[in-house]
Amino acid sequence: MRISRRDLLKGAVAAGAAAAVSTDAQARAPVPARPNAVGMLFDSTLCVGCRACQQACKAANGLPPDPAHAAGGVYDAPADLNSSTKNVIKLMSEGGQTQFMKQQCMHCVDPSCVSVCMMGALHKEGEGKRSLPGARPEKAGTGIVMYDKALCVGCRYCQIGCAFNVPKFEWRDPLPLIVKCELCRHRGDEKKSGPLAVANPACCEVCPRGAVIYGEREALLAQARARVAARPEAYNAHVYGATEGGGTQVLYLTAKDVAFTQLGLPSLPEESSASFSESVSHAPYLMGVTPVALYAAMAFVIHRNQKRDAHTTGEGQ
């Protein structure tokens, strides 16, 4: 069986075209923190569980009170993050130790939710597929993870991907949204200077102890380390979020004998899940060359097989 020159030429041209086509670079190096990354620092040794932050978050985001059945809690006292609670205070009480834990979106440096969102509904500010409509255009570099409901199909893959189980879904709404903290970007004021121009988290503004403070990630990281260095007998030496899962923009400090896992913060490797997933998934694709080349080769072979069959049997199928 001889392959005709025409077939060969067709195949070669197809393969050549395939090689010339390239899609986005899929090299998956670790993602650095954005240059003007802003975030929060939560020092659980200072938190007294007054829940002012919980109330302020509800007020600032226009969230309704929690109905009693939503998370099995008392009316308006949510037991966990949910579709009407973007920030919650929990109590860790183990072996005689008690500590309060503030839970909200971690605004990861390399977020899993951003990696998995099909249409980029969840994206870092300024890095989405389109800028969210609104008074203030998005500005890249702050690293705030934002949600564009117009692009969201409600697939809830972000809930699967997030290691912190932050995004919540409006299960009882026929027009449901994904709900999570967005660092009160809507409270930012361009007339102000510094990080406050970008965002102004209500929880940080109202905390009476300064247990949660807002600022640029670099500065907060330095502050956290300084606190640990100043009082090593009071703090757990590690600052959570410096490297976990690629790093987060919301950092945590805890008391000396309290492990972060006791506060519900998962123990994560330095490599982000997004990095791992994308590296493995994209490896065979070779920037889009593989599928095109494969298609060309297979079309060529199948066509040749059919022609061969037609010649031998005189029948087509």
Partner 1 sequence: MNDIGIDVTPALEKEGFSRRDFIKVCSMAAGAVGLPAWAGEKMAEQVATGRKPSVIWLHFQECTGCTESLLRTAHPDLGSLILDLVSIDYHETLFAAAGHQVEAALHQAVAREAGKYILVVEGAIPRKDDGIYCIVGGKKATDTLKELAQGAAAIISIGSCASWGGVPSASPNPTDAVGVKEILPEAFKAGKIVNLPGCPANPYNLLGTVLQYATFKTLPKLDEKGRPLFAYARVIHDDCPRRAHFDNGRFAQAFGDPGHNAGWCLYKLGCKGPQTHANCSLLHFCEVPGAWPIGIGHPCIGCTEQGIVFNVPIYKNLDIEKPTAPMAYPGINPEHGVVSRSSVAVGVGGAIVGALVGAGVVASKKLSAEDREKKE
Partner 2 sequence: MSATEHARPMGGPLLDRNMKVLLVLFAVAALVVVYRFATGIGPVSNMTDGYTWGIWEPVNVVVFTGIGAGAFGVGLLCYLLNKGKYHALVRPAVLVGAVSYTLGASSIMFALGRPWNAYWLPYAPYWNLSSALLEVAVCVLAYTIVLWIEVLPSILEGAAASRYPKLQALGASLGPRLQKLMPYVIALAILLPTMHQSSLGGLMLIAGPKIHPLWHNALLPTLFLVSCLSMGYGAVVVLVNLLNVTWKARLDQELVAGMSKVNAGLLILYLVLRLGEVVVHGKLRYLGANFATLLFLFELALFAAPAVMFLLPAVQRDRGRLFGAALLTLAAGAFYRVDTYLTMYRPSGWTDGVANAAGWNYFPSMGEMVVTVGMAAVGIAVFIFISRAFPVVVVDETRASNPSRS
Which residues of the shown chain bind partner 1 in the complex (CB under 8 A)?
Answer: 48-56, 69, 71-73, 77-80, 88-93, 98, 100-101, 206, 208-209, 262-264
- In what side-by-side order are the strands of the sheet with 38-43? 212-216, 38-43, 250-253
DSSP assignments along the chain, one per residue: -PPPHHHHHHHHHHHHHHHH---S----PPPPPPTT-EEEEEETTT-----HHHHHHHHHHTPPPPPTTSSS-STT--SS-BTTBS-EEEEEEETTEEEEEEE----BSS-HHHHH-TTSSEEETT-SSSPPPSSS---TTS--EEE-TTT-----HHHHH-TT---EE-TT-SS--EE---TTGGG--TTS-GGGGT---HHHHH-SS--EEEEEHHHHHHHHHHHHHH-TTTB-S--BTSSGGG-BSEEEE-BTT--GGGGT-----SS-HHHHHHHHHHGGGGGGHHHHHHHHHHHHHHHHHHHHHHHHHS---
72-91 footprint of partner 2 as x/- string (CB under 8 A): --------xxx---------
Nearest residue (CB) to partner 2, 34 versus 227: 34
- Picked from partner 2, partner 1, none, the partner binding residue 277 (CB below 5 to 8 A depending on kind) is partner 2
Q: Which residue has the tokens 């977020």?
A: 111
- Picked from partner 2, partner 1, none, the partner binding residue 169 (CB below 5 to 8 A depending on kind) is partner 2
Cα–Cα distance measured from residue 45 to residue 99, given in angstroms and rounded to the nearest whole number: 7
- Tell me: does residue 67 bind partner 2 (CB under 8 A): no
Binding partner 2 (rule: CB under 8 A), the pick from 32, 35, 65, 154 is 154
Q: Which residue has the tokens 């070669």?
A: 12
Nearest residue (CB) to partner 2, 96 versus 284: 284
| Closest approach of partner 1 to the CB of residue 106, in Å | 15
- Tell me: does residue 59 bind partner 2 (CB under 8 A): no
Binding partner 2 (rule: CB under 8 A), the pick from 60, 88, 89, 152 is 152
- Tell me: does residue 276 bind partner 2 (CB under 8 A): yes
Nearest residue (CB) to partner 1, 57 versus 158: 57
Cα–Cα distances in angstroms (integers) from residue 188 to residues 135, 138, 155, 165, 251, in the given order? 11, 12, 30, 26, 20
- Picked from partner 1, partner 2, none, the partner binding residue 38 (CB below 5 to 8 A depending on kind) is none
- Picked from partner 2, partner 1, none, the partner binding residue 146 (CB below 5 to 8 A depending on kind) is none
| Closest approach of partner 1 to the CB of residue 132, in Å | 30
Q: Note whether 89 and 54 are within 8 A (CB).
A: yes
| Closest approach of partner 2 to the CB of residue 92, in Å | 12
Nearest residue (CB) to partner 1, 77 versus 197: 77
- Tell me: does residue 7 bind partner 2 (CB under 8 A): no
- Which residues 169-228 are close enough to bind partner 2 by CB under 8 A? 169-177
- Picked from partner 1, partner 2, none, the partner binding residue 281 (CB below 5 to 8 A depending on kind) is partner 2
Amino acid at 175: L
| Closest approach of partner 1 to the CB of residue 208, in Å | 4
Query: Rule CB under 8 A: which residues touch partner 2?
Result: 23-24, 26, 80-82, 112, 115-120, 129-130, 149-157, 159-161, 163, 165, 168-177, 261, 264, 266-268, 273-274, 276-278, 280-282, 284, 291, 294-295, 298-299, 301-303, 305-306, 308-309, 313, 315-317
